[in-house]
A = this chain, B = another copy of it.
Amino acid sequence: MSTDNTATTPTVDQIAQNADAAFRALQGIEPAVRARAIVAAADALEAHADELVPVGMAETGLAEGRLRGELKRTAVQLRVFADTVVDGSYLDVRIDAADPEFALGPRPDIRRYLQAVGPVLNFAASNFPFAFSVAGGDTAAALASGCSLVVKTHSGHPELSALTAGVIVDALEGAGLPKNVFQTISGQQRGVDLLKHPLIAAGSFTGSTKIGRMLADIAAARPKPIPFYGELGSVNPVFVTEQALSERAGEIAAGLVTSVGGSAGQLCTKPGFVFVPDAAPLEQGIADAASGSVPHRMLNERMADGFAERRDTILATDGVRAIVEGTVERDADGQGWVTPTVVVTDTATLAAQRDRLLDESFGPLTVLVQYSAGDDLGAIAEELFPGNLTATVHHGEGEASEALRRLVSVLSEVAGRVLFNGWPTGVAVTPAMQHGGPWPATTNDSNTSVGTAAITRFVRPVSYQNAPQALLPEPLQDANPWNVPQRHAPAGESTHWGDAAR
């Protein structure tokens, strides 16, 4: 499969029309067929690993082990969503039987479920060329929901995108899904034009705050506004208690360096700020862990430029001292090769120099921040870190002070995932995962972009009132041919409302 930048490149309108036709055709196809097609895509992805991974390595600089792991994760993710389709609980089927005795007069039979919204446009990310790209989580969620999908490929890995798209399209169409159920488009302007197209029903994005906000604004300003889910930047603050430090300094130091250095720090969940009562007990451990670091190539030159500039700014800030200075070097092709940098400062400096220090450093750098006994960590989190994908607490064995409880409560307000005694990099694809947090972590924190709950971004509720069985969609029929969970309002509930709370 070639990229779409050829003489036969379809127009944006053609792509939208194709996606719409595919969406309509898809609505007539049983979910079991859709699920099998998604599994076929997972299988095909794994079958083509030896062909795809080297292309990804060349285009992104990511290591083979990382990319093979990511491809496997991407395949598992597709299968998880296939199971989500078959399970059907995401449809949130609610059936309220007619009730002639209802307090406000006879009540009709009402049945509600979530149905697919229409063609989805996803903007792929650079840093996960499998898991957040052509065959990634948004693709899995959109296909699982019953939507057709267009992926705006990322310019950082065009050949891998085209190859992956070919694999996915062959698998999906070979398994019986309609032509054009999955398409790609390339080029930022074409992506923007498609986002504005009346037939596109929802958008999703993983990338920078600047581009994500631009796209969210476009989606909101359309004549017909559409939901847009942008997963943007995050600095992922970590708070280490005194007890944790005294119990596990070595473990914390080693874990931190691994989390910061992995994938050259180009992860949206990389811990960017680590609050410690005292950096001293960590310094040797951090230095030891970092000493084994081999240079890792960054995704592209622009990313390396941005990281080098952020790192220079941070290192040149008054009151900031390097524990491990790391390296940023260029090869003959201009690509940047990096090792981890760890610096230390204190809460007063962070507050005073927030304009220089608080931005995300997209690369292997983290800032230790020493706090004093009198510092209110909750207040600091609220003021300096109002929107993050994750926030982490390292606590001691059995520790549960009022201050710690308050900190955890604040963290649950400023982040989508709160972790304990671990590191935020690594995001499990499970029903309970939340990957999304208050702005600027995401443009819309009512949802997640990882985990099976992500499917709900691409559905909308519809109720049927007094419908004859023959005219109901399958999930709402009494016969329940798809065997999905149906939640019935308890018998008699409607005449006793309010009783439970009395």
Contact = CB atoms under 8 A, between A and B. Distances in A.
Contact of A419 (B69, B413, B466): B466
B39 A498 contact: yes
A54 to B, nearest CB: 22
A227 to B, nearest CB: 6
Interface stretch (A56-64, A94-102, A160-168, A278-286): A94-102
A225 B439 contact: yes
Contacts of A470: 400
B501 A94 contact: no
A42 interface: yes
Question: DSSP class of A's interface residues: helix, strand, loop or mixed?
Answer: mixed
Contact of A432 (B400, B489, B501): B489
A325 interface: no
Interface string A84-122: 011100000011100000111001101110010010000
Contact of A224 (B27, B418, B439): B439
A302 B218 CA distance: 34
B94 A464 contact: no
Contacts of A317: none
Interface stretch (A308-316, A333-341, A351-359, A401-409): A401-409
Interface residues on A, range: 35 or more
Contacts of A500: 35, 82-83, 86-87
A94 B471 contact: no
A79 B500 CA distance: 9
B76 A104 contact: yes
A172 to B, nearest CB: 13
List 4 tightest A-B contacts by C-beta distance, closest first.
A79-B498, A35-B501, A82-B501, A434-B463
Interface of A: 27, 32, 35-36, 38-39, 42, 69, 72-73, 76, 78-80, 82-83, 85-87, 94-96, 102-104, 107-108, 110-112, 115, 118, 216-217, 220-221, 224-225, 227, 386-387, 393, 395, 398, 400, 404-405, 408-409, 412-413, 415-422, 428-434, 436, 438-440, 443-448, 453, 459-468, 470-471, 473, 487, 489, 493-494, 497-502
